[in-house]
Structure 1
Amino acid sequence: MPDRGQLEHLRIEAYTKADYAGTPIATFEAYVNPAELTLSYEMEYDSGQGAGTTGSRMDFKKIKPGDLNLAFFIDGTGANGRPEDVQRKVESFQEVTGYNGDIHRPNYLKLMWGRLQVKRCVLKSASIAYKLFKPSGIPLRAVITAVFTDTADDQTRVALAQDSSPDLTHVRIVHAGQTLAALCHEIYGDPRLAPRVARANGLDGFRHLAPGTRVVFPPLEK
C-alpha cells in the first residue's frame, strides 16, 4: 500500500511507437509539481442554415484532440530542499518530449500524475523562461510552459469512437454472454451478417466467442 504522505511527481514517458509498445526510452520527472493543470477540448460541427431562416443547424462532426496545458518550475537555488541543475533538467525535458531522429518525428508520450488518467499525447508547443542567473550566467530558475495534445493509433481511435453508423468500421471487445449475431444486429441491424464478420476476422466459428475476443466489424452491405 503506498505511503499516503509520499509526494508523487508528475512523470512523462517517451515511446517510439504509436501503439506505445515496449518500455519507455526515456523519462522526465518534475521535481516541483505544477500548481495548475488545464485540460481543454473542442467539438467540431457543420453549421447549416436554411434559406429564409435566422438560426443554424449544428450537425456534429467530431471531437478534436484535447490539449493539456501546464508549467514546470525548475529551481536550482536549493530553496525546495534539493538544488537542480537547471539547464540539464531543461535538456532532459527537450530530449524526452522533442524530436527523435531515429523515428523522424517527436516521441509519443505518456503523461501521468496521481489519480489523473494516463494521457497519451505528443508535445504541441513549449516555451522556456529563465528567471534567475548566477553572475557567470548559469541559470538558477526556469519555467517550462508546455502544451500537449492527444494522440492515438488508428485501432485505438476507432475503438474509442464507437460510432453507431453501419458504414463505419467498429471494434468491440466481446463480453461474457455476447454473441456475434447479437453484435451484428446492434451494429448492422442484421444478425445474419455474423458469418461474414467471422470470416473477416479469421474466426473458426461465430456461435461461441470467448470473452475478451477483439472483433472488427467492417462496413458491410446487407
Structure 2
Amino acid sequence: MDDNGQLVKVLIHAYEDEEFRNKSGISPNPISLPVNPESFTQNFKVELNQQQGQGNQGTNPDYKGTKPEELKLDFIFDGTRTIEGYKYNGDDHSVKSELEIFMNTVYNMNGEIHRPHFLQVQWGNFMFPCILSNLDLNYTLFKPNGDPLRVKASTTFLNYVAQRERVARERRRSPDLTHVRQVKSGDRLDLMTHKIYKDSNYVTRVAKANGLTTFRKIKPGRELVFPPIDKRSQE
C-alpha cells in the first residue's frame, strides 16, 4: 500500500541501453504484473574455489568472486475474472494477449538493440536494474478451445550493472588507488584506514602522507589523502 492506502503494483520498465536512460518504445511501458506476488526472493552468491587436495579431510576455500544478485518472482496470469484487483496491460483481457505483452517486454529480442530489453523491476521504493535470466510458464487451466485460462510464471532476474559503472565502483573501492576522504565528526584515522585498506596497520603511513604529527584528534572537515599501497611489497 502507498501513503494513500492504494495498492502498489509491481512494475517492469523496459530500456534499450545498459545505463537505463533510454526507455524502449514498446507500449505499454512500464507494464504491471497482473497480481502482486505474495513474496519475492533475493539470492546472493559468493563463488569459492573448494578444491580439496588428495588425502586432505577439509578444505580452505579461496574467494573467486561475487556473483550478481538474483531476484525471483512468482505470479499468475488469470483469465477467470475472479481475482480482485487483477491488472490488465492491454485492451484484450485474454491470458494469451497478456502473455504476449509480458514476453515482448522481458524476453523477446528488440530489433533496435539486437537483444532483449534491459529491465528495472519496481515495487514501491524498491528498484532492481536487471535482465531476465530464467522464465518458467506453467499452464494450469484452459478454455474449451484450448486457449490458456491460467498460467503460473516463475521468473528470475539477474542484477545488471553497466560496465562503466561497475569499473567505477571497483576503482573507488580499490586500495591500489589514491583515495580522498573528508573527516566527519567522530571519525578515527585508524578506522578510516582499515575501511580502505582492510588493515589499520597502515595508519602511520597515512598520517605521514598527510603531515599529521598525531592521528588521535583530526579536525572535522579536513580532507585526508589515502595513498596507494602495494600490499605485496609488504609481505
Question: Structure 1-normalised TM-score?
Answer: 0.68
Structure-2 residue corresponding to 1:78? 81
Write out per-residue CA displacement over residues 116-148 of structure 1, whole angstroms, 9 at most, x where no aligned residue: x31111000112122212212222111111111
Residue identity matched to 2:163: D
Structure-1 residue corresponding to 2:216? none
Distance 1:129-1:42 versus aligned 2 partners, 3 A rule: same
Aligned with 1:120 (options 110, 129, 150):
129
Query: What secondary structure is seen at the aligned counterpart in 1 of 2:30?
Result: strand
Per-residue deviation at 1:90? Answer: 0.6
Question: Is the Cα–Cα contact under 8 Å of residues 13 and 27 in structure 1 kept in the other structure?
Answer: yes
Question: Is the Cα–Cα contact under 8 Å of residues 68 and 149 in structure 1 kept in the other structure?
Answer: yes
Aligned with 1:33 (options 26, 36, 44):
36
RMSD, matched Cα: 3.8
Question: Is the Cα–Cα contact under 8 Å of residues 159 and 170 in structure 1 kept in the other structure?
Answer: no
Structure-1 residue corresponding to 2:161? 152
Residue identity matched to 1:19: E
Whole-Å Cα distance in 1 between the matches of residues 16 and 105 of structure 2?
11
Write out per-residue CA displacement over residues 170-195 of structure 1, whole angstroms, 9 at most, x where no aligned residue: 998x8798xxxxx9xx979889x9xx
Structure with larger Rg: 2
1:22-171 matches, within 5 Å, as: 22-25=22-25, 26-47=29-50, 54-81=57-84, 84-98=93-107, 99-115=109-125, 117-161=126-170, 164-167=173-176
1:9-24 matches, within 5 Å, as: 9-24=9-24
Whole-Å Cα distance in 1 between the matches of residues 148 and 51 of structure 2?
54
Distance 1:114-1:43 versus aligned 2 partners, 3 A rule: same
Whole-Å Cα distance in 2 between the matches of residues 38 and 21 of structure 1?
26
The answer for unaligned runs of 5 or more in structure 1 is 178-182, 194-208, 210-218
Distance 1:159-1:171 versus aligned 2 partners, 3 A rule: farther
Distance 1:111-1:176 versus aligned 2 partners, 3 A rule: farther
Comparing 127-136 and 158-167, the one that deviates more: 158-167
Between the two proteins, the alignment pairs up a number of residues equal to 193
The answer for unaligned runs of 5 or more in structure 2 is 185-191, 210-222, 231-235
Question: Is the Cα–Cα contact under 8 Å of residues 40 and 72 in structure 2 kept in the other structure?
Answer: yes
Distance 1:18-1:51 versus aligned 2 partners, 3 A rule: same
Question: Is the Cα–Cα contact under 8 Å of residues 158 and 171 in structure 1 kept in the other structure?
Answer: no
Structure-1 residue corresponding to 2:4? 3
Residue identity matched to 1:131: T
